[in-house]
Structure 1
């Protein structure tokens, strides 16, 4: 494993997560897959994402939208079981291809200013999708990014609510994966190496957040989705 590459990935991804409330898995997973076994990469990503969310949530807890958080959590409970079955038993390559195509289509729709009306049902369904994607490939953020980028919620509420949700879903996912599948020493060693740079990324991300207006945040979300979909598709095809 290339330690310097790991440090750079964690630093950039944690900065993005702290700035937007999203982005850690989206920025880290495609590159961690180049360094580690796919399941080790997924577990490392979930563990680091849990730590960064836990470190962030206390300071921003006052702007969490509790009703939305509850619906996301309830929905995620339906998605985690089929997701963990994918993680344990199936090849992740076909799933990665499907996700890359869906992300690209969604990004094009969002860039075309497709709007979403907030609703309890949509939030519940986003939770289902997010729970499934977390336990299967370690990426809880894309469904929420797609949904929230098309709403009029302010950036502080979006960030705090998603971070609070990530605390729950990442902890649940890493516990399910560890007890039902197990984990390797490289996951925990990589976590320890990454911690100082995770903290540095949070500090840098907070600096970016206060200077990021709502429009810029949406543009950044579109860019993240587009980059991830293309990168996932190309790297998966090339395997």
Structure 2
């Protein structure tokens, strides 16, 4: 495959390990796949291809569990999804006209922003003003297009509130699945989507499927406080790793 010409065996192995590890984190915490895998893929692919490849993987794994997500997600997820659909094309267009070096730095700081936001004090279950929800939707759409990462605004919005863990996870994952779908549609519309990326995603998907399954099993065995600590650790590690790769 021409798209993989720049990937040697070691790089493909690294991509598979990154897919497995990021999917495990997704299953465990309800987020994290894009934050972890986009900076790694962007070292070998262009930032645009890294983002769109991650969107394919997110859609594939989201569709595999869509019934559960629809059943357990909070209603606010749909308002955020609508705004993501409108603003994702703007973010993707900005990415397409940004130099790869600058895009990697911006993506790194986006990952860092999620870590900072999740450290803020937890709020009550109903403490989500419509303006806050709208802001989360707009920012999530821009970040979906620009970095393939709808999570930085969404994760603190749900994890930072006193709601059941499964509700938070399902809401986040439903948003991420729809956001990734919007990202692919936007990429096709503005002419930056290479459909060979779908074949690359098929190669990586078994690792994603296995990692996500193991992560879900682990999530069901840990307490809520431990789960929230895992969220913070994952965000912090991803932010530091992304910054190191951007400036190394």
TM-score by length of 2: 0.86
Task: Report deviation, 1:14.
Answer: 1.2
Correspondence for 1:114: 121
Where do 5+ consecutive residues of structure 2 fail to align?
1-6
Q: Is the 8 A contact 1:26 1:224 kept in 2?
A: no
Counting matched residue pairs gives 236
Q: Is the 8 A contact 2:87 2:142 kept in 1?
A: yes
Partners of 1:99 and 1:3 lie apart in 2 by 22
Structure number with the higher helix fraction is 1
Give the alignment of 1:67-146 within 5 angstroms.
Answer: 68-91=76-99, 93-98=101-106, 100-101=108-109, 103-104=111-112, 107-108=115-116, 110-111=118-119, 113-116=120-123, 117-146=127-156
Partners of 2:132 and 2:18 lie apart in 1 by 32
Change (3 A) 1:119 1:37: same
Where do 5+ consecutive residues of structure 1 fail to align?
none
- Cα deviations by residue, 1:32-61 (Å, 9 ceiling, x for unpaired): 122322221111111101111111221343
- Cα deviations by residue, 1:149-197 (Å, 9 ceiling, x for unpaired): 3211111001111112222111111111123123336523321211222
Change (3 A) 1:93 1:149: farther
Root mean square deviation of aligned Cα: 2.1
Task: Report deviation, 1:204.
Answer: 0.7
- Cα deviations by residue, 1:107-141 (Å, 9 ceiling, x for unpaired): 34643x52343222212211111111011111111
Partners of 1:180 and 1:201 lie apart in 2 by 32
Range moving further from structure 2, 132-141 or 161-170: 161-170
